[in-house]
Amino acid sequence: MQSAISKATFAPLGSPLDLDPVNATPPSAAATQATFAIGDERTASRIVDAIAESYPGPDLAIAAFEAPGGRWDVTMHFSEPPDHDLIHALVTETAGEAAAKSIVFGTVETKDWVKASLADLVPVSAGRYVVHGSHDRDRVPPNKIGIEIEAALAFGTGHHGTTRGCLLLLDRVLKQRTPRRVLDLGTGTGVLAIAAAKTLRRRVLASDIDVRSVVVARENAIFNGAGDLVETIHATGFHAPQFAARGPFGLVLANILANPLRRLAPALAAHLAPAGFVILSGLLPHQADSVVAAYCGAGLKLVRRIEIDGWSSLLMQKR
């Protein structure tokens, strides 16, 4: 089966499923396509991550597919014409000037490009969890916990190393402990909150700084049968009354980025119950040590560190 990497910003291009009517972009008759090739999977993965998370323009779907001879073809689709100079700059920064110069822009028929790019993506297994799209609903083993997420809705399909790392560490913790209070900080699609809620059958608080992600996580929780267990809120950091009301937490999941994780260390530790666990991800390997240091300084200790697809995930515990 052909290997593939796929990501998207919030809305699928040309799809009727629009969870944010205020900021919705009406589908146009055509979409802009940009294509170029790169030499290896790891670079292709980094490009997909960097562009999907850095592009500030209208709706974007980006995918990288393995081609014969080891080459990876990267394809981007935009609901509105993009800033060519910005796309060139982003590709130059992540893949080099030669790749940026090879970008070819064109116009294609509007369709749900995210759904199309997912056609060859297989379900992702991480411990007892299987994250899958609707096209693989029937492939989830009966002894696994299935979580159905469409990449068209937001980041976090399970194919990314950070999500897989968090799920593996979550599985490890929940085999040893049964935390009464769980927080998913920066929930995105809600994958981690849904996984914890379905395993524990207890309420999980899920927050995000992005209003659209909060809506997406809520819809995903309902669709996965965890709507009564996952409470989604819009909040920056710990600045919401629900954190104090629902804490202290026996387990916090935070799949964000290195800089905000370092800044949040004191506040997160303050909301963590004695001997509570925190799972941190969204880290490049060279960033992990500084994040560990920040949390050790806040009274935690490192329990386990894993690396998947060039990303680090940490399990830490409050002393």
Query: Do 291 and 314 contact (CB within 8 A), yes or no?
Result: yes
CATH 1.10.1040.10 corresponds to the domain 4-117: no
Joined tokens for residue 90: 């982003």
Predicted local confidence at residue 238, as pLDDT: 95
Is there a shared CATH topology between the 4-117 domain and the 154-318 domain? no
- The parts of the chain modelled with pLDDT lower than 50 are 1-4, 6-28, 120, 152-156
Q: Which helix (H) or strand (E) holds 147?
A: strand 145-148
Distance between CA atoms of residues 166 and 69, nearest Å:
33
Cα R_g (the chain), whole angstroms? 19
Q: Give CA separation, 213 vs 122, 130, 152, 173, in Å.
A: 24, 21, 12, 26
Predicted local confidence at residue 8, as pLDDT: 44
Q: Which candidate, 36, 26, 38, 42, places its Cα nearest to that of 84?
A: 36
Predicted local confidence at residue 57, as pLDDT: 59
pTM for the model: 0.69
The label of the residue with tokens 């060039």 reads 310
Q: Which residues pair with 252 in a beta bridge?
A: 183, 278
CATH of 154-318, one of 3.40.50.150, 2.70.98.50, 3.40.1550.10, 3.40.50.620: 3.40.50.150
Distance between CA atoms of residues 44 and 50, nearest Å:
10
Q: Which residues pair with 318 in a beta bridge?
A: 300
State the CB neighbour count (10 A cutoff) for residue 93.
14
Instruction: Render pLDDT for 7-17 as a digit per residue (tens, 0 to 9).
Output: 444 333 222 22
Helices (H), 55-186: 84-95, 97-101, 113-117, 161-176
Instruction: Render pLDDT for 269-317 as a digit per residue (tens, 0 to 9).
Output: 999 999 999 999 988 888 999 999 999 999 999 999 999 888 899 999 9
For the chain, the structural domain boundaries read 4-117, 154-318
Length of the chain: 319
